[in-house]
Amino acid sequence: MQYDTAFEMASSNIRFGQGTTREIGMDLSELGVKRVMVLTDPHMSELAPVQNVLESLAAEKIEVELFSRVRVEPTDTSLQDAAAFASAGEFDGFVAVGGGSVMDTAKAANLYSSCPPTDFLDYVNAPIGKGLPVPGALKPLFAVPTTAGTGSETTGVVIFDLEEMHAKTGIAHRRLKPTLGIVDPENTRTMPPIIAASTGLDVLTHAVESFTALPFDQRPKPEKPILRPAYQGSNPVSDLWALQAMRIMDENFIRAVENPDDEKARGMMLLAASFAGIGFGNAGVTLPHGMSYPVSGNVKSYHPDGYPGEHPLIPHGMAVVLNAPAAFRFTAPACPEKHLQAAEALGADVSGAGPEDAGEVLAERIQYFMQRLNIPNGLSAVGYSEADVPALVEGTLPQHRVIKLAPREVGREELTEIFKDALKYW
Ligand SMILES: NC(=O)c1ccc[n+]([C@@H]2O[C@H](COP(=O)([O-])OP(=O)(O)OC[C@H]3O[C@@H](n4cnc5c(N)ncnc54)[C@H](O)[C@@H]3O)[C@@H](O)[C@H]2O)c1
Ligand SMILES: [Fe+2]
């Protein structure tokens, strides 16, 4: 096999600033968009960000239909519901106002209504679906994140729960990228602490996973450039974004969760989310994300206190970080320097730590954030026991797009050990 010798930096368009949400009507008007589908979830539909977007569109006399049925942690069924609404509405543009669940649903609604496939799974990542590329340009989509989390405003990725598989999977193509991400610190003010904590831990893992991912030049060389995946492995450009996101988090994460009126910390966290999004969008995520997909999909009855809605769920950031200390202890021997660098950027004292300590130092720093932010103590605290480990392993094995980017190869045996280690941390 020949290794790749190149990496690519795909750009994402974002506009950052207080009050930019109110500019969105003018942006759409300039593009000639006349009829828009605004997507949000039931809880967000009552809050200021959605109202501000609707007012801004009304001011430009843009016709709007509000779709507020987005499911938090979308499923194939909920995506198809949004896509059917989009097809029936004959819109010429889309606006997503919410967290990753809303932004991802909007990308899917745009894709499935603009370029309807023969079968729903045609666009879904292989080997679960056919992984077909998006055949043509989609309609303009503006993404307005209201969590400092997924970075979905910067990525061409849709993540959803494939119900029959009890695990998440995705659709990934650069044409799914939003036309513009409107990153307005005003919009995250109303996040309750449990949402600020779990979405922020998603940012943390995006940054650390992409920074410690298999380097781009240890992945197979594609036959033609179009086949080079967006998740191409760590590289010097994505490293910059990831490291800076970690440094910002060290200074601002706890402050922003504990005091939502801390304007500076809240704004910096939103910036860190986009930075980490640009980083992982050009490098990929690895084991903690791959392992999170069956952790979310097999949820039994867990629902975090203070979280909107009633259906059992393990919020994405929580499902990911619960695997992170165990996963990084496993991957550290492959590139100990990078694990130590990540720990240091997140504020750990690494003086005197040698390569053999790297996994432990990073794991402990992540556990510090988890404990400080009242995250459950391992997978056992969200309803899993050792008896569930085989199912969690089987759900992780097909997540090739991410687990193959781990810097150390994993199979059934290794994943079993990592999941066992993730059951309880302190
Ligand atoms: N596309 C990508 O690149 C990508 C990356 C990571 C995760 N994801 C996906 O994104 C989803 C998670 O998104 P998320 O973590 O942003 O959360 P979310 O969109 O699921 O929202 C979580 C909860 O927070 C509430 N909420 C959001 N903003 C709020 C605000 N400002 N004030 C009060 N409440 C608010 C929502 O109503 C919801 O109940 C998952 O499905 C995950 O798999 C996608
Ligand atoms: Fe994530």
3-state secondary structure the chain: CCECCCCCCCCCCEEECCCHHHHHHHHHHHCCCCEEEEECCCCHHHCHHHHHHHHHHHHCCCEEEEECCCCCCCEHHHHHHHHHHHHHHCCCEEEEEECHHHHHHHHHHHHHHHCCCCCHHHHCCCCCCCCCCCCCCCCCEEEEECCCCCCHHHCCEEEEEEHHHCEEEEEECHHHCCCEEEECHHHHCCCCHHHHHHHHHHHHHHHHHHHHCCEHHHCECCCCHHHCCCCCCECHHHHHHHHHHHHHHHHHHHHHHHCCCCHHHHHHHHHHHHHHHHHHHCCCCCHHHHHHHHHHHCCCCCCCCCCCCCCCCCCHHHHHHCCHHHHHHHHHHHCHHHHHHHHHHCCCCCCCCCHHHHHHHHHHHHHHHHHHCCCCCCHHHHCCCHHHHHHHHHHHCCCHHHHCCCCCCCCHHHHHHHHHHCCCCC
Those residues whose beta carbon sits under 5 angstroms from the ion ligand 2 are: 202
pLDDT of 315: 95
- Side-chain-facing half-sphere of 320: CA atoms under 13 Å: 26
Q: Is the pLDDT confidence value at 310 over 90?
A: no
- Banded pLDDT at 1 (limits 50, 70, 90): confident
299: number of Cβ within 10 Å: 20
Nearest CA to ligand 1 atom 35: 191
Give the whole-angstrom CA distance, residue 78 versus residue 121: 14
Q: Is the pLDDT confidence value at 126 over 90?
A: no
For residue 155, which atom of ligand 1 is closest to its CA?
A: 3
The CATH number assigned to the domain with range 19-183 reads 3.40.50.1970
Answer whether 274's CB lies under 8 Å from 255's CB: no
Q: How much distance in Å is there from the Cα of 165 to the middle of ligand 1?
A: 22
Q: Which has more pLDDT, 216 or 224? A: 216
For residue 43, which atom of ligand 1 is closest to its CA?
A: 37
List, chain by chain if needed, residues with CB within 6 Å of any ligand 1 atom: 41, 43-44, 47, 72-74, 98-102, 104, 146-147, 149-152, 155, 157, 159, 168, 187-188, 190-191, 195, 199, 202, 308-309, 316-317
pLDDT, mean of residues 397-410: 94
Q: How much distance in Å is there from the Cα of 103 to the middle of ligand 1?
A: 8
Q: How much distance in Å is there from the Cα of 150 to the middle of ligand 1?
A: 7
Q: Is the pLDDT confidence value at 318 over 90?
A: yes
| One fold for 19-183 and 193-421 | no
Pocket test for ligand 1, best of 195, 275, 311 (most atoms within 8 A of CB): 195
Q: Is the pLDDT confidence value at 309 over 90?
A: no
Q: Are strands 141-145 and 93-98 parallel, antiparallel or unpaired?
A: parallel
User: Residue 127: is the preceding peptide bond cis (ω within 30°)?
Assistant: yes
Q: Which pLDDT tens digit goes with each residue over 132-163?
A: 989 999 999 999 999 999 999 999 999 999 99
Q: How much distance in Å is there from the Cα of 363 to the middle of ligand 2?
A: 18
pLDDT of 334: 98
Nearest CA to ligand 1 atom 6: 150
pLDDT of 403: 94
pLDDT of 283: 96
Q: How much distance in Å is there from the Cα of 150 to the middle of ligand 2?
A: 5
Q: Which pLDDT tens digit goes with each residue over 256-304?
A: 999 999 999 999 999 999 999 999 999 999 999 999 999 999 999 999 9
Pocket test for ligand 1, best of 110, 175, 316 (most atoms within 8 A of CB): 316
Residue-range domain boundaries for the chain: 19-183, 193-421
Q: How much distance in Å is there from the Cα of 31 to the middle of ligand 2?
A: 31
Q: Which CATH architecture has domain 193-421?
A: Up-down Bundle (1.20)
- Banded pLDDT at 193 (limits 50, 70, 90): very high
Lowest-confidence segment of 162-166, 231-235, 354-358 by average pLDDT: 162-166
pLDDT, mean of residues 317-330: 98
pLDDT of 226: 79
pTM of the model: 0.96
The ligand whose atoms approach the alpha carbon of 96 most closely is 1
- The pLDDT mean for the chain works out to 96
Give the whole-angstrom CA distance, residue 407 versus residue 135: 32
Q: Which pLDDT tens digit goes with each residue over 4-44?
A: 999 999 888 999 999 999 999 999 999 999 999 999 999 99
Q: How much distance in Å is there from the Cα of 336 to the middle of ligand 2?
A: 23
Give the whole-angstrom CA distance, residue 381 versus residue 371: 13
